A and B are shown apart, each in its own frame.
Chain A
């Protein structure tokens, strides 16, 4: 069994997630990144790696590890930033974002330590997660499979095909978390292809479903801290989030899915992130040494 990274103090998580957001902003320079979609799931990913996932960066191939699959692969900047915080990526690796000599491109791939499977094409990883979860069941293993879905991604029919199949197979080791930021690439979901009532959809497909505030660690404790939500059924968590969370000037804007910023714009965003109080502008320092 994996040792779990236990970060019990919310202050520690808050400090980490601030650096995650800062690094997402940094990755919006020199080519850009899907900033809005990354900011919305920064808290969720930080919480999962900090308190939930049984995975050790030194033993990423351990058969009994938990799996996290980022099906909304365009939020790669959030994943890279979180993997860097939790010891999967070396210091300074994020500076290689989009650099030819590295492989930190706009969608994740499994050559990056800690990335289980590539994504980018929406509607794939719930199916892949089903396969992983089926094998865990066959082997009676302890692992759980967490799949992070975008809400826009739920337009894809393959998601609902997989939702039916996961239910038919009773995969209670499969946890789908919807980053419900209310936007797809260019439009509000409810203006284009309405999803509500979303929790009811999962429930009617045979899943156990909980809704949480996807920016509240207390709410995550309430649900993600006591998984599974129900035995014998796959679990869905609809996490209400805000596109661009952390940057009031970016939040809930249809035109802030992908952001390419200049050095000055990034510096200004980092200042905004910290409420205008940046003690030492420049590189984010790793102030917290995690005991891994």
Chain B
């Protein structure tokens, strides 16, 4: 079932649900006909989208509000924070083309700080699906939860069968392993899976975790990685600051668990605008790039260094 089919199904069963957009209809083209006046398009007006969503939520509605991720989370940030955030209203924000998915649009359209911004809003949940199956599957739970939520929209085809009945807020263990742990979210899961296959061919045993939600962050899953493998790698198409890496550092420090931790992220600049596969390659997120980086991290491990000497 696609995301669109899923929200039509959810809205059909639950009259509280309204679907909104700031004229960003790519993922919901069939929704207007299906929902009638419970579909509300405010035009290219992200601030009004968010304020109106808060007003609808005050009246008991559960708005699913769509916008281009960069403009939804940044142009309307203060509305998200002050209208939905302060009031703790159950508005579900769906950010279109987050991270590398903005492809060749250029820096204006790059939401690579969206997770950091949403993490800074008390009570804001953050869901980063690996593919369309995970996205559609989680929507029921997200709509049922009473909190505001930011969804990093991603409708890519699945490359893995997700475990059924995955509890919201829990990470998904894709493979067990003893040499290195990889924590990843969003569509980069597919590149991480390629990297795992390459590393396996080199005799490296990899524990791969699909994080799924960044708030709540599955702290037990984070700690388990640090306890099981000496090296932990975070992978995200997001700035180094404020995303998964930051959350993992905070978690490990709080839980007094220490390991060798290496981030693979977008470090302090905007990425090279390009078609997705080119951008992935150029920015070093392809399975091959990830595998070679991780091999290098393993070689740089202190114990390994002594063994080499």
Q: Which residues of A contact B (CB under 8 A)?
A: 63, 110, 116-118, 121, 123-138, 157-158, 161-162, 164-165, 168-169
State A169–B45 Cα separation when bound (angstroms): 14
State A9–B50 Cα separation when bound (angstroms): 42
State A128–B56 Cα separation when bound (angstroms): 8
A131 B56 Cβ-Cβ under 8 A: yes
Residues of B within 8 A of A124 (CB): 51, 79, 82-83
Residues of B within 8 A of A136 (CB): 59
Q: Is B112 an interface residue (CB 8 A)?
A: no
Q: Is B54 an interface residue (CB 8 A)?
A: yes
State A144–B277 Cα separation when bound (angstroms): 52
- Which are the 5 A-B pairs with shortest beta-carbon distances? A131-B55, A127-B51, A131-B52, A135-B59, A131-B56
A135 B61 Cβ-Cβ under 8 A: yes
Report B11 CB to chain A, min CB distance, Å. Answer: 13
Report A74 CB to chain B, min CB distance, Å. Answer: 15
B53 A131 Cβ-Cβ under 8 A: yes
Per-residue contact bits, chain B 36-56, to A (CB 8 Å; 1 contact, 0 not) = 011010110101101111111
State A272–B37 Cα separation when bound (angstroms): 54
Beyond the given pairs A127-B48, A134-B55, 7 more chain A to chain B contacts, judged by CB atoms under 8 angstroms and listed by A's residue number, are A117-B58, A118-B82, A130-B48, A131-B57, A138-B18, A162-B52, A165-B45
The chain A residue sitting closest to B63, CB to CB, is A131
29 contacts between A and B (CB under 8 A): A110-B87, A116-B58, A117-B58, A121-B78, A124-B79, A124-B82, A127-B47, A127-B52, A127-B54, A127-B79, A130-B48, A130-B51, A130-B55, A131-B52, A131-B54, A131-B55, A131-B56, A131-B57, A131-B59, A132-B56, A132-B59, A134-B52, A134-B56, A135-B61, A136-B59, A137-B37, A161-B48, A165-B45, A168-B42
Q: Given A158-B48, A165-B52, is A131 in contact with B43 using a C-beta cutoff of 8 Å?
A: no
B43 A165 Cβ-Cβ under 8 A: yes
Mark out the residues of chain B between 63 and 78 whose CB falls within 8 Å of any chain A CB in the assembled complex.
63, 78
Q: Is B12 an interface residue (CB 8 A)?
A: no
Most buried by A among B38, B50, B60, B83: B83
State A116–B87 Cα separation when bound (angstroms): 11
Q: Which residues of B contact A (CB under 8 A)?
A: 18, 37-38, 40, 42-43, 45, 47-48, 50-61, 63, 78-79, 82-83, 86-87
Interface of A is mostly: helix
Residue of B38, B43, B87 near A117 (CB, 8 A) is: B87
State A128–B82 Cα separation when bound (angstroms): 11
The chain B residue sitting closest to A145, CB to CB, is B55
A131 B38 Cβ-Cβ under 8 A: no
Report B132 CB to chain A, min CB distance, Å. Answer: 29
Most buried by A among B47, B79, B87: B47
Residue of B18, B51, B53 near A162 (CB, 8 A) is: B51
State A243–B136 Cα separation when bound (angstroms): 54
Q: Given A117-B87, A135-B61, is A128 in contact with B43 using a C-beta cutoff of 8 Å?
A: no
State A132–B87 Cα separation when bound (angstroms): 15
The chain A residue sitting closest to B53, CB to CB, is A131
State A189–B290 Cα separation when bound (angstroms): 57
Q: Given A121-B82, A138-B38, is A128 in contact with B51 using a C-beta cutoff of 8 Å?
A: yes
State A158–B42 Cα separation when bound (angstroms): 13
